[in-house]
Chain A
Amino acid sequence: MPRSSARTVIPLFILAAHAALHAMLGIGGWLRPFELLSLLLLGANLVIALCLWKGSWDLPSGTCTMLLIAGHGLIGQRLAPDSLTSGAMLTVNILIVYVGVKIYEHLSRLHFAAFAGSYLILFYIFLTRMQNAEALFLLFLMGLAATARDFKLLTYFWAIVLSFTACQPYAWETTFSSFLILTALFSIRDSNWNPASVIFLVGGMALLLFVLLPVIVLMAGEDPRNVVAMLKSESVRDALRLTAVTATISTVILAAFCVPLAYALSRLDFKGKSLLLALADLPIIVPQSAAGLAILKVFGKQQYLGGIIFDAFGIRFDGSVFGICLAQIFVAMPFILKGSLAAFESVPVALEGAARTLGASSFSAFKRVALPLAMKGVVAAAILAWARAAGEFGAVLFVAPYPETAPIAVYNLFNSVGLVQTAPLVTTILLFSLAMFLALQILVKLAPGLTRREGSGA
């Protein structure tokens, strides 16, 4: 049969078959003449006939659709709760058939198998787990039709489906986290990867999740109203403010001394340098309580050096903001020093040499070449140091338990009222720290001059 005549004959045939079917159903008493379902069927048939006639659809899809319509007509009449749902199902199923035919024609067999398999599994899930959730099922089917052309999209689609069917009532959380993981996995797949590193990644992530679980559970489980109440409390706000201010002061002091020191260490080579670097790690090795005691022993008001400073400047360290800063500086120092050192070491010395031959003094070469190029790493190190300073508990507890910083406040509250009542405060502090940390990171990303740096020259 020539193609052109087929285009005319088949639509006419469809319409004729439709009319005949209706007549038969009508005569049999299964269908009333102007029922909604009947009108829907007629509309669908008209659309298909038109499509076939215009040549934008073809024989297999037309045939499938006809069968589908016939089947649905019968099912709708006998099973479906109401004709509206039945009509919607029909429409979506026509979409599915259309997409299926297109996938079969244009994409690989694997795509088609994935599509058909997905449909069957969805249908199975619908039958077994989604009673009276036709609307959701139809939504899923539309999603399937939209995503089936691409395996990546299909995977995301299934992550949603499984989250919303198997993981209730944590559907949104599951969707969010599975999207994160899938995105990571897909970007790994698109980059250079090898089995060893992927296995190591999965293993490492497992431990990381296990460790971070308490924090996540605590934050997810807390009622936001409690957090708001906490933030309104004067004492909590004082503690948070004190923590932020002391950590910032400590970081500024650290940056003023340790960044130039890191530059010096990266450019100089001298005997005893490795010893100095090892000593710089001391605050990491020493238990914080011991560090606190040591600070108290030297800088306490009754002690020798602390006494001299108190007499000369009227500054006392024990039980004061200065003491808090001192303890924070002590514990945060290795982070900013080592981070900045790595940053400066990544800046080629030759660039400073070039700057010198162009007329820059060594100070100017530091300011205009080494520091801007290392700035990204230096700022990252400073943020880390800030976070370390803000979170310091042990050393601060010994040197200056009052005024209360946030970590001390948690400890004191826990001692007086116990675990359950402390949880909102802990959540508040966690959220506060996280917010500050993220804010600093974003600030650095947005700051001009820091992001402009590209990799090595051509």
Chain B
Amino acid sequence: MTPHLHIGGVEASFGSFKVGPVRIETERGEYLALLGPTGCGKTSLLKCIAGLKIITAGSIRLAGQEISGLPPERRGVGLVAQTGDLFPHRNVRENLDFGLHYTRLNRTTRQARLEKHLVMFRIAPLAHRYPAGLSGGETKRVALARAMVLEPSLLLLDEPFGMLDHNGRLEMAELLRMILRELGTTVIHVTHDRHEAWSLARRCAIMNQGRIVQCGQVADVFRRPADVFTAQFLGCENVFEASFTEQTARCGEARFALGYKPPFRSGFVAIRPERIAVAAHGQPHLISGRLIELQDAGDNLKACFDCGALKLTARLPLELAPRLTLNACFNLTWLADAVHAIKPQGDEGANS
């Protein structure tokens, strides 16, 4: 089956900043999270797909049709910008009607479609308000509705949760799930927040410095980051240089089991901090270290251990707090699948 959206070898330049080559494929109705730090080219890539920036190389195919040569108005791609970009001289209803103007639908169909979307996105009470009088969440909902009223087969969301408070985020997430479930729209959701991505997407692509560094199922990317950047970006605080012999990783004095044989001799190991546990006294353990820093992070305890050559950070359950005293030594342990081997930097071969 051919993918619904196929982005192949797309390159674009924005002054001195280069994006690409980028390759992404998504199935119809798929929700893809595009994750990356600020300034990595996520928004630029969206603009390339929407047609607001000209690409210098590569192809973009939507439902089998090459769209990279088309002007933005003929691509049928919905884009919701970070700030919403509502037209300040039109009220909410007129904002929604803006795109319908070009659809050549008859008047009654247009009206019906508009009313339906006003209700669906819970903005009917705002219909006659102007954008300057809307809250952040309302602005985002209207922008989303304005794009969705045209029923695009591909929706591009640029930081849809940006500038929203907790309730706004919940509401927005619910609307996005509805789009996914009921309308079957293919969505690319750009964000820098991995929790946001996890809550909605099954697949994600990690972007860094204009390139896609890893693309795959969320769980896969999370457990098996392809490079040091991805590991750290996804919250893995323990990344160490290591050499590998058979199924064992070796960092300085310490050795841990990997559970599989990596295809390279040296590289890095990443140990998920939330998988590290404190072993009871006398129990088998992998390493022991002195607790040098303890911080209550709300839903977990961030504990830093000095284990000789390695500085390990663990995310421990809150119940352990009474047992943890600074400068005391603790035995640490984890299961083999908490450790992941990462290819050395600059080696492009091992990405699946």
List A residues at the B interface (Cβ < 8 Å).
348, 350-351, 353-362, 364, 368-369, 372-373, 449, 452-458
Contact = CB atoms under 8 A, between A and B. Distances in A.
Most A Cβ at <10 Å: residue of B51, B87, B139: B87
A452 B129 CA distance: 12
Contacts of B131: 454, 457-458
Given A356-B73, A358-B102, A457 B84 contact: yes
B284 to A, nearest CB: 58
B184 to A, nearest CB: 20
Interface stretch (B75-83, B241-249, B300-308): B75-83
A458 B135 contact: yes
B45 interface: no
Interface string B98-124: 110111000000000000000000000
B102 A357 contact: no
Contacts of A458: 131-136, 138-139
B88 A359 contact: no
Contacts of A373: 87-89
A357 B135 contact: no
B147 interface: yes
Nearest to A351: B85
A353 B52 contact: yes
Interface in B301-331: none
A354 B85 contact: yes
A454 B52 contact: no
B190 to A, nearest CB: 15
A348 B85 contact: yes
B234 interface: no
Contacts of A354: 79, 81, 85-87
Contacts of A350: 81, 83, 85
B83 A457 contact: yes
Contact of B79 (A357, A360, A449): A357
B350 to A, nearest CB: 38
Contacts of A455: 88, 132
26 contacts: A353-B52, A354-B79, A354-B85, A355-B87, A356-B51, A357-B52, A357-B75, A357-B147, A358-B98, A358-B99, A359-B73, A359-B101, A360-B73, A360-B98, A361-B71, A368-B98, A368-B101, A449-B89, A453-B88, A453-B89, A455-B132, A456-B132, A457-B131, A458-B131, A458-B132, A458-B136
> What class of interface size applies to chain B in its complex with A?
35 or more
Contact of B150 (A348, A359, A368, A372): A359
Interface string B59-94: 000000000000111010111010111111100000
Nearest to A453: B89
Best-surrounded residue of A356, A360, A449, A457 (most CB of chain B within 10 A): A457
Interface of B: 47, 50-52, 71-73, 75, 77-79, 81, 83-89, 98-99, 101-103, 130-136, 138-139, 146-147, 150
A457 B51 contact: no
B205 to A, nearest CB: 21
Contacts of B102: 358-360, 364
Counting chain B CB atoms within 10 Å of each CB, the highest count among A358, A362, A453, A458 belongs to A358
A369 B150 CA distance: 18
A369 B73 CA distance: 15
Contacts of B98: 355, 358, 360, 368
A356 B50 CA distance: 9
A457 B134 contact: yes
A368 to B, nearest CB: 7
A373 to B, nearest CB: 6
A364 B87 CA distance: 14
A357 B73 contact: yes
B132 A359 contact: no
A362 B74 CA distance: 12
A357 B134 contact: no
A357 B132 CA distance: 22
A358 B147 contact: yes
B51 A357 contact: yes
Given A358-B98, A360-B99, A361-B73, 20 more contacts: A351-B85, A351-B88, A353-B72, A353-B85, A355-B98, A356-B72, A357-B50, A357-B79, A357-B147, A358-B73, A358-B150, A359-B103, A362-B71, A368-B101, A373-B87, A453-B88, A457-B86, A457-B139, A458-B131, A458-B135
